[in-house]
Structure 1
Amino acid sequence: MTPLRRLPVRLAPVPGESLDSWLAAFSRRLATPARDLLPALGLDVTTLRGSTTGLAVVLRDDEATQVAKATGVPVPTLHMMTLARYNAVLRTDPSTRRLMPYHAWTRRRGTWFCPRCLAETGGRWQLRWRLGWSFACVRHRCLLVDRCPDCGQIPRPDAGLLHIPLASRCGARPATASRTHERCGADLTASAPHELAGGHAVLAAQRLIDTMLTTGTATFGLYTATAAGQVFTDLAVLAPRILGTAAMPHAADPAVGDLAEVYQASLSEGGTAYHGAGSGPGHAVHAAVAVTRAMAVLSKADATAAAAALAALPAPGITARRLVSPHDNGPARSISTMLTDTLQRARHTLFPRPPSPSKARTARPRTPSGRRHDLLGSVQHCPDHDRAPPRSNRSPCPTRQRQDSDGPPP
């Protein structure tokens, strides 16, 4: 094997950039496809299944050491460019370079994007855009775009291993493509995102999400210095329930009313944004509405106020028993005691128990317990009318009386 040497060209990653986006920028800088670039970085092309996307999920330690030698980028920086840094929110499998089904809310294919960020950075993709918890750009105050305007698919940063990726271009394979390596190539910076006002509730929820991802702790509403992983577990349980039972946004909604048209346009033929407990949001607007409403519940000062806010969410005519169920949280999910208390209170509000009929209740018969002398002592303290009369005062046996009246036997 040829020993690695330092590449003559340096390319620093953009803050928050994903690893496959940085590799795509390197390919453009050197005018070299990934199939030829990756071996020069010490990476085995045969394990990548035709794409560099897996490298943005997990980069093994030995691979990171090789890439650091060839590029001069520190090993910790390379690891921070992969989804493994968010293991408190999701779970990665190093052997397959895939996300494990820990939270269905986390997407597994492609990435959403902000077209203005792509235009400013020359086509560099943020790692957080791959998370289902990222649905808005707080810098440009807009929703993330989740579909290519030309092919209608979720785009991807790379263009495979055989071609040099174009900056800010869609790397998805169109449904009508006749060749396996054919890519869309549409200009993603031309996409028109949905604008949000400066004090929009969606932006406030996104800022809080970003803060938890950065600091690893949460201090707001029901939580006091709580680990971010626990809060994201609560959100992963609550947000899909809200997506399936809450009323659709309407113009009178003070929080997400301006998203009503975008939400309605994104719905599938089934007329719903909810595709089952094991699926995540299909569009950025679905994630924005569900997470914003969930954060509004969890941001209340106590469980009573949170339960009242949660009980007001179900749409008319929808049975919301699963929304307020403290159980059925999925495998390997343990929600916090604060959320459990909130769900129980909301369940009692939506489904109050009918009053039981008033009737006198007696103690259930049971076998006496205790030692023999204790039982005898209890009997001695019984009232006189409940005790048996002394043997001397008992009436004689009827047979004995009859024998006495007939006289002694012969």
Structure 2
Amino acid sequence: MSKQDLGLPRRLALVVEPLPGEALLSWLNIMSAEHGGLTRPQTAQITGVLAGEGSLYPLAHGSALYHPHAAKVARIRAATALTESQVAEMFWHRYRGTVLHPLGSRWVDETTRHTLLKWWIDPNALRLCPRCADISGGRWLLAWQLPWVFVCPTHRCYLVEACPTCGRAFTAHRTNPVLDAPHRTPLPNSTQWGQCSAPARELPTVPVQDNELLALQQRLWDALHAPAEQRPEPFGLFQDLWAMACLALFTAHPEHLDGADAVVREAFADYCRAHDGTAGRRFTSAELRGLPVLVHAAVIRTAARIVFGEDPLAAADAVAGLSRDPHSTAIVALRRAWHSSPLRFATRENTARIETVMDVAKYSGPGLAPSLKRRSPTAASATVLCER
């Protein structure tokens, strides 16, 4: 019985092996180029990512990129002769137990773009290290699409999320650094469209001088790629960082970024000014899902000082002023955001590491905040000084 009788695709004569950590869409780009410029959906079909001539919807919006189901893995291996691990590592499923909920009954739902958005991940977002992309021929790592990766440790530069010439954001489904062809972009002050020919693989980069941020990025990178037996701890770590990054986004100020690179401080200052209001900072759901890369760096850097500090409550108090006014408009705005999409899951799986912070910050309505004096000696001292 032939492979075709079994519903498996034909073995391809030309197969480019995926890079370690490469995204599935990136691999489809290079395979498309090597097969004479096929479209990405056509390449997905001949490589077994999509079954037969069916709908292309799963590639853009559905389950094709998320879970390496046994039938899908069998199709891809039949067409490409890749190993099972090479196939599986290109799917979002590889981050289960780190930034996605550990494998179990809840993972059944983690098969679409919508469900990944619940965990602060936009699978259409894309950031690039132009130097890495140039060396690899325009390919990118799946980790670059995560909000937790904002620096390339190899080249010590910030990742780039948009073309600096035209301002168009990179997206996983529309950006193809392999071809690096000119892209359509709206002309300024016009309803017309033009062409931008700035090559993504030659874009300028901003060097990272902040050693604290470099060390943090390496720590997060190691946690993202932790062995399976260590994954319960990384998942809790990222949940704590996410909750505290939210706190930083709603309450922190540029002065809390001491030691950070000027570009990060300036980007965060501009973002704060653009969203500050009389009732706290206001963000749309789309803005909360897709913060600029330098703003991500700012809030996660601030969150790390809280989560990894000796006294998380005291560190959070220094940022959010919990002892001065646990009922402030900033905290109330944060609490409201924690109860709605897309930040609703940020407070679902926190660990004991930030329990004292969450006791105060999450229940900050009038009459609801627990006394800081019962939570931390350091915070209690801060409260006494404040009262004086």
Partner of 1:5: 10
2:55 to 16, 40, 47: 47
**Equivalent runs, 1:348-387 vs 2, <5 Å:** 348=372, 349=379
Distance 2:30 2:349 in 1: 41
Matched, 1:275 2:283: yes
**Equivalent runs, 1:181-260 vs 2, <5 Å:** 186-197=198-209, 200-215=211-226, 227-249=233-255, 253-256=258-261, 259-260=264-265
Count of residue pairs brought into register by the alignment: 338
Tell me by how many angstroms 1:170 deviates. Answer: 7.2
Partner of 1:112: 127
1:134 to 145, 149, 154: 149
Contact between 1:150 and 1:186, CA under 8 Å: does it hold in 2?
yes
For the residue of structure 1 that corresponds to 2:344, the secondary structure is coil
Contact between 1:297 and 1:307, CA under 8 Å: does it hold in 2?
yes
Distance 2:191 2:13 in 1: 38
Letter in 1 for 2:91: T
Matched, 1:90 2:104: no
Matched, 1:299 2:308: yes
For the residue of structure 1 that corresponds to 2:216, the secondary structure is helix
Residue 249 to residue 235, structure 1, CA distance change in 2 (3 Å): same
Partner of 2:367: none
Distance 1:185 1:62 in 2: 40
Structure 2: gaps of 5 or more residues: 102-106, 362-370, 373-378
Residue 175 to residue 64, structure 1, CA distance change in 2 (3 Å): farther
Distance 1:179 1:97 in 2: 34
Contact between 2:180 and 2:200, CA under 8 Å: does it hold in 1?
yes
1:60 to 61, 69, 74: 69
Partner of 2:376: none
Partner of 2:344: 330
Tell me by how many angstroms 1:121 deviates. Answer: 0.8
Distance 1:32 1:226 in 2: 42
Residue 102 to residue 226, structure 1, CA distance change in 2 (3 Å): same
Letter in 2 for 1:20: L
Tell me by how many angstroms 1:12 deviates. Answer: 1.0
Tell me by how many angstroms 1:292 deviates. Answer: 0.8
Tell me by how many angstroms 1:333 deviates. Answer: 0.7
- Per-residue Cα deviation, 1:332-374 (whole angstroms, up to 9, x for no partner): 7132122112444787249959xxxxxxxxxxxxxxxxxxxxx
Q: Percent identity?
A: 23
Distance 2:265 2:182 in 1: 30
Tell me by how many angstroms 1:203 deviates. Answer: 1.2
Letter in 2 for 1:195: P
Distance 2:203 2:149 in 1: 18
Partner of 2:298: 289
1:145 to 160, 180, 184: 160
For the residue of structure 2 that corresponds to 1:85, the secondary structure is helix
Letter in 2 for 1:67: I
Residue 168 to residue 132, structure 1, CA distance change in 2 (3 Å): farther
Tell me by how many angstroms 1:258 deviates. Answer: 5.4
Distance 1:132 1:341 in 2: 25
Distance 1:179 1:63 in 2: 42
Tell me by how many angstroms 1:319 deviates. Answer: 4.4
Tell me by how many angstroms 1:66 deviates. Answer: 0.8
Structure 1: gaps of 5 or more residues: 220-224, 354-410
Tell me by how many angstroms 1:267 deviates. Answer: 6.5
Distance 2:383 2:220 in 1: 34
Residue 339 to residue 96, structure 1, CA distance change in 2 (3 Å): closer
Distance 1:146 1:170 in 2: 17
Residue 231 to residue 102, structure 1, CA distance change in 2 (3 Å): farther
Tell me by how many angstroms 1:269 deviates. Answer: 4.4
Partner of 2:28: 23
Tell me by how many angstroms 1:237 deviates. Answer: 1.4
Residue 217 to residue 16, structure 1, CA distance change in 2 (3 Å): closer
Residue 30 to residue 277, structure 1, CA distance change in 2 (3 Å): closer
Contact between 1:115 and 1:188, CA under 8 Å: does it hold in 2?
yes
Distance 1:262 1:40 in 2: 44
TM-score normalised per structure 2: 0.72
1:125 to 122, 140, 162: 140
Tell me by how many angstroms 1:215 deviates. Answer: 1.2
Distance 2:156 2:114 in 1: 29
Residue 53 to residue 27, structure 1, CA distance change in 2 (3 Å): farther
Distance 1:342 1:267 in 2: 23
Partner of 1:154: 169
- Per-residue Cα deviation, 1:148-187 (whole angstroms, up to 9, x for no partner): 2244233135559xxxx5616379764579999x996641
- Per-residue Cα deviation, 1:253-280 (whole angstroms, up to 9, x for no partner): 2245552234345668446986268823
2:316 to 292, 303, 310: 310
Distance 1:14 1:208 in 2: 22
Structural RMSD (CA): 4.1
